[in-house]
Amino acid sequence: MSGPTAAQGDARSLDTVGRVLADLPPAPAVWCWGLRKRYRRQVAVDGVSFTVGRGEVVGLLGPNGAGKTSVIKILLGLVRPDAGDVSLLGQPAGDPRSRTRVGYLPELFRYQPWLTATEVLALHVRLSGIAVSTEEQRECLATVGLADRAGDRVGGFSKGMQQRLGLAVALVARPDLVVLDEPTSALDPIGRADVRDLLLSLKDRQVAVLLNSHLIGEVERVCDRVVILDKGQVAASGTLEELLGGHELRMRLDGVDAQAEARLAATGRLTRSGNVFTIALPADPGAATVPDLIADLVDLGVRVHAVEPARTSLEERLLAILRARPDEERR
Ligand SMILES: Nc1ncnc2c1ncn2[C@@H]1O[C@H](COP(=O)(O)OP(=O)(O)OP(=O)(O)O)[C@@H](O)[C@H]1O
């Protein structure tokens, strides 16, 4: 019996390569490495590298002028970096194949004032080249709270309403990655809460999000991971758990004698301020740790007035990271 011909062998190996590639996890939504950008004498981005996984929500934080918008513009192919590489959804930045799958809300948004909200959205659907039914477009306007103003000209919109329209533009073509540069800067508290819900629904649908926001509480509530930029560099990055550390337990107690204090200290690192005792809980405290502790304290005659979970806020951590950076690391 004769073996496979060379052509059959080649076809089989191509088949195997195809299967191996199909089994590989998809490329990250954002991958960037060694990004640098200088505007005349001003270094805006100084060696920035990070990734956003598929379906991951990543917050980009940092003080004014840290380089957040510059990084976003480089990622989207709107600014040419002096050095570094970018790939979006597995394609080089600026490649039309990835652009159609990316939604973007710029920091400074302005839409054609003579068009209605419906017309602006339809225009962006046409530009995206993705088929989105009129019904879906209408739903998208409703999602951002503009159902009642769909037929009104954008020229008469408030800033917050224009920002809502910008969100609709970013979301309408069913993107796999959404980049939002300060999406709530013009929104009232209800609008901010709406955006928070919107981000959570994107997360449920496995849409990756890169979110630049000064509203740290917002970032803390919705983001899986955070990248902190300072003076054009990544000052810190990680999951909230990694950046904020473990959980703490704060208790207001009376009648704590030496024995009770030893019991408290046996649970985790103990600090005391008057009658407020704070314990840094171990990384993975068992479900019984806190109830057992309280039961033992009561047995020891301690009066327990309050027990509440506590954790360093992202805002406190961000300030600590930025203040701890030595000047030589800052350009
Ligand atoms: N087109 C430009 N020409 C000159 N300098 C620029 C330009 N764009 C940004 N810069 C400078 O680059 C640095 C980073 O700016 P960038 O807008 O990226 O910061 P940011 O972190 O987004 O700030 P903010 O939080 O205030 O929006 C700043 O010093 C800024 O002045």
DSSP string, 287-309: TTHHHHHHHHHHHTT-EEEEEEE
Q: Tell me which DSSP letter residue 266 carries.
A: T
The pLDDT, as a whole number, for residue 95 is: 78
- Among the listed residues 143, 89, 95, 99, the one whose alpha carbon sits nearest the alpha carbon of residue 121: 143
Separation in Å, CA 67 to CA 49, 77, 102, 190, 234: 13, 15, 21, 29, 10
Tell which wins on pLDDT, 211 or 9: 211
For ligand 1, atom 30, the nearest C-alpha belongs to 65
Q: Is the pLDDT of residue 135 over 90?
A: yes
Contacting residues for 261 by C-beta, under 8 A, at least 6 apart:
270
Together in a domain, 84 and 117: yes
Q: How many distinct structural domains can be found in the chain?
A: 2
Write the DSSP assignment of 154-192 as a string of letters: GGG--HHHHHHHHHHHHHTT--SEEEEESTTTT--HHHH
The pLDDT, as a whole number, for residue 3 is: 61
The pLDDT, as a whole number, for residue 2 is: 56
Write the DSSP assignment of 242-264 as a string of letters: HHH-S-EEEEEEE---HHHHHHH
ipTM confidence: 0.97
Distance 69 CA to ligand 1 centre (A): 7
Beta bridge partners of 87: 31, 92
Task: Give the integer Cα–Cα distance in Å for 45 and 68.
Answer: 8
Q: Assign 329 a pLDDT band (cuts: 50, 70, 90).
A: low
Instruction: Output the average pLDDT for the chain.
Output: 88
The pLDDT, as a whole number, for residue 56 is: 94
Together in a domain, 230 and 278: no
The pLDDT, as a whole number, for residue 87 is: 93
Tell which wins on pLDDT, 74 or 315: 74
Distance 43 CA to ligand 1 centre (A): 9
Q: Is the CB of 70 under 6 A from ligand 1?
A: yes
Distance 119 CA to ligand 1 centre (A): 32
The percent helix, strand, coil of the chain (3-state, each to 5) is 40, 25, 35
Q: How many alpha carbons fall within 13 Å on the CB side of residue 235?
A: 28
Task: Give the integer Cα–Cα distance in Å for 214 and 69.
Answer: 12
The pLDDT, as a whole number, for residue 99 is: 80
Together in a domain, 234 and 255: no
Q: Is the CB of 61 under 6 A from ligand 1?
A: no
Q: Residue type at 64?
A: N
Residue 82 lies in a domain: yes
Together in a domain, 45 and 170: yes
Q: Is the CB of 68 under 6 A from ligand 1?
A: yes
Together in a domain, 142 and 279: no
Task: Give the integer Cα–Cα distance in Å for 298 and 322.
Answer: 42
Q: Is the pLDDT of residue 328 over 80?
A: no
Together in a domain, 177 and 281: no
Print the domain residue range for 258: 246-311
E strands present in the chain = 30-39, 42-52, 57-61, 83-88, 91-92, 102-105, 177-181, 208-212, 225-230, 233-239, 248-254, 269-273, 276-280, 303-310
Determine the residue of 70, 76, 231, 330 to mutate for testing ligand 1's pocket, defined as the one with the most ligand atoms within 8 A of the Cβ atom: 70
Helices 159-171 and 189-204: crossing angle in degrees, nearest 10, is: 10
The neighbour count for residue 251, using CB atoms within 10 Å, is: 22
For ligand 1, atom 16, the nearest C-alpha belongs to 67
Together in a domain, 214 and 192: yes
Q: Is the CB of 145 under 6 A from ligand 1?
A: no
Q: Is the CB of 80 under 6 A from ligand 1?
A: no
pLDDT in tens, 249-299: 899 999 999 999 999 999 988 989 999 999 988 777 778 888 999 999 999
Q: Assign 165 a pLDDT band (cuts: 50, 70, 90).
A: very high
pLDDT in tens, 142-154: 989 899 999 999 9
**Where residue 257 sits, what CATH number does that domain have?**
3.30.70.2380
Q: Tell me which DSSP letter residue 329 carries.
A: G
Distance 37 CA to ligand 1 centre (A): 10
Q: Is the CB of 331 under 6 A from ligand 1?
A: no
Together in a domain, 136 and 114: yes
Q: Assign 327 a pLDDT band (cuts: 50, 70, 90).
A: low
Burial of residue 156 (CB within 10 Å: 0-12, 13-18, 19+) is exposed
pLDDT in tens, 198-222: 888 888 889 999 999 888 888 888 8
Together in a domain, 54 and 152: yes
Sheet containing 303-310: which strands, arranged edge to edge? 269-273, 276-280, 248-254, 303-310
Task: Give the integer Cα–Cα distance in Å for 99 and 183.
Answer: 19
Average pLDDT over residues 182-202: 86
Closest-lying ligand 1 atom to the alpha carbon of residue 69: 22
- Among the listed residues 60, 39, 36, the one whose alpha carbon sits nearest the alpha carbon of residue 211: 60
Together in a domain, 215 and 271: no
Residue 235 lies in a domain: yes
Task: Give the integer Cα–Cα distance in Å for 162 and 187.
Answer: 10
